[in-house]
Structure 1
Amino acid sequence: MGTVVGLRRYPVKSMLGEDLAAVRVTERGLAGDRGFAVVDGDGAVGSAKHPRKWGPLLRCRSRTAGSGTALVELPCGTALHCGDDELDKRLSELLGRQVSVSDSPPRDGVLERAVPEYEGGVPEAARKRAFVDETGETVTSGQVAAGTFYDFGMVHLVTTAALERLRAVRPEGDFDARRFRPNLVVDVPGAPGFPEDAWLGGELRIGEALFRVTLPTPRCVVPTLGHDELPADPGIMRAVAREHRIPVLTLGPLSCLGVYLEVVEPGVVRTGDTVAVGQAG
């Protein structure tokens, strides 16, 4: 049905990640993925979903550096290990306030999201509760998934078919998969539009692992930001909002690209693995 053409993990939340040839998938997602996050004294978890406050994190790159640790490359090129006081100092200077890197999710960790102008960027009920914070940005506030640094799903998949559909409707946009920060990029040759919509509620066998497809992935402002050599492009999410607003739970129609997966059977996944779609058992 499809083939894995990209594997990626992000050892530190909201930093650039690392490409992989193979990865062990555990019950909690890809081993080493979002094992760390930058947090501040107010309990806010660093997320580029609030670009004015946390956007500089996307100028940093993280990669695993042995079991249970990660290395952060700062914009200046300096590389420091998570847990190093010098890293906390440098990140505090970068962000303009006191922060630290943690591998322990705060019990009530706050996750802030900027409210985009395009329709479907946040549920309408959340838009009504939005407020202007100290940065002057209109934001909503929620929490990370309990006991983790994930926003919601622990594994995120996008298809090449969805990206090609968006390129067709907005040829001037660079719909590079990296903008959407997936763990898995799956090539589905010849598939029209958004084939992953039909997988919801079903299962995917990918390499040794088995996943259940749980939800469409609502998109925030992050794909519009600069990633590595990719420039900022506000039109990216406007195109998604025009082409793919679909119902998510009881939240109404939201601008979505990709799907969230939960792990049914752990195992190793490799680039080049086939993806087989089935019904949930």
Structure 2
Amino acid sequence: MNRVAGIRRYPLKSAAAEHLDEAEIGKHGLDGDRTWACLDADDTIGSAKQPRLWAGLLDIAAAYEPARGDASERVVVTAPNGAGGDAGEPEADAAVSDWLGRPVRLTRTAPQQLRRHHWWPDEPGMIPEWAADAEPGGDALVAAGHDAAGGRFFDFGALHLVTTGAIRRLSAEHGTDVDPIRFRPNLVLDLPDDPEPGRRIAIGDAVVLEVLVPTPRCVIPSIAHGPNPKDPGLLKTLARHHRVDVPGFGRATCFGFYADVVSGGTVRTGDPVATG
């Protein structure tokens, strides 16, 4: 039976994942997902797509606690050295700033001009057709995504997913096991293939998703993620085997896919999954 193999949430954009047994999915995605971001001194938000500035965020833990009774929802941020606090409080800002080595602050309010730094990989094939003027190996200031209605710092869709079948094929192409966490998905589905855009995915009794587009890849899969060391050769494998047409955009090196939420509910690891 096809099933949910993993659930991941990222309460702080570009921070480490929470590995969950269950979560609530609403029209804006997983409850608590990417509700906070780091803001740098130049008013750009933190994204590990520029690892020179933000790779250290991948080592920061962020845990979402929903509102219960009289207690408001909160996100607890913890640096690898144990320092931290509630997002929005000075202790959390200080812990993340100390870890990154420069002053930053956490915010859940998007700046009026929402931008981020983006490093364009110099591996051939890693720049999408719609960014043909980008300089390989160069830094650029680009517009950042934000779901204003849901208060989420999303790059594109409400949910990002990968399938076990695609991961197995990539591991074979790459010659070593590839951990799905390198792609920072919300859901890992035990399916033989990625569903095509427009297809629907039913999960459990209530959740229905609609596939949008394949996910264009950046440098993030190749940098260190917790116990997973740097693997720059992964970009070569992706560019060689996974450059595809993104409907409405052009060709790009992609892995995984974005989806919108048609109907929400509770999702649990082990829930049955059906595509149609």
> TM-score when scaled to structure 2?
0.90
Secondary structure at 2:54 match in 1: helix
**TM alignment of 1:123-134, pairs within 5 A:** 123-130=128-135
Aligned pair partner of 2:161 in 157, 162, 167:
157
Q: Which residue of 1 aligns with 2:214?
A: 216
Q: Which residue of 1 aligns with 2:39?
A: 39
Distance 1:130 1:170 in 2: 26
Change (3 A) 1:84 1:145: closer
Distance 1:46 1:138 in 2: 14
Q: Identity of paired residues, percent?
A: 39
Select between 85-94 and 239-248 the one with higher mean Cα deviation. 85-94
Distance 1:206 1:23 in 2: 12
Q: Which residue of 1 aligns with 2:202?
A: 205
Q: Which residue of 2 aligns with 1:257?
A: 255
Aligned pair partner of 2:189 in 168, 179, 186:
186
On the 8 A contact 1:200/1:214 being kept in 2, the answer is yes
Aligned pair partner of 1:109 in 108, 111, 114:
114
Q: Deviations over 1:140-176 (max 9, x none)?
A: 522213423111111011001111101112223x410
Secondary structure at 1:71 match in 2: strand
Q: Which residue of 1 aligns with 2:175?
A: 171
Distance 2:141 2:220 in 1: 15
* Equivalent residue pairs, number: 267
Question: Shift in Å at residue 61 of structure 1?
Answer: 1.2
Change (3 A) 1:115 1:77: same
Change (3 A) 1:26 1:146: closer
Secondary structure at 2:162 match in 1: strand
On the 8 A contact 1:26/1:266 being kept in 2, the answer is yes
Q: Deviations over 1:247-266 (max 9, x none)?
A: 11343221111110101111
Q: Which residue of 1 aligns with 2:70?
A: none
Q: Deviations over 1:173-229 (max 9, x none)?
A: x410111110100112xx3xxx21x43111111122111100101111111111111
On the 8 A contact 2:60/2:80 being kept in 1, the answer is yes
Question: Shift in Å at residue 138 of structure 1?
Answer: 2.7
Q: Which residue of 1 aligns with 2:233?
A: 235
On the 8 A contact 1:119/1:255 being kept in 2, the answer is no
Select between 65-74 and 118-127 the one with higher mean Cα deviation. 118-127
Distance 2:157 2:135 in 1: 23
Q: Which amino acid aligns with 2:166?
A: A
Q: Aligned Cα RMSD in Å? A: 1.8
Q: Which residue of 2 aligns with 1:64?
A: 64
Distance 1:90 1:273 in 2: 37
> TM-score when scaled to structure 1?
0.89
Secondary structure at 2:105 match in 1: strand
Q: Deviations over 1:42-63 (max 9, x none)?
A: 2211100000011111111111
On the 8 A contact 2:2/2:272 being kept in 1, the answer is yes
Q: Deviations over 1:67-117 (max 9, x none)?
A: 321111102122421122022123223333321111122232102221012
Question: Shift in Å at residue 30 of structure 1?
Answer: 0.2
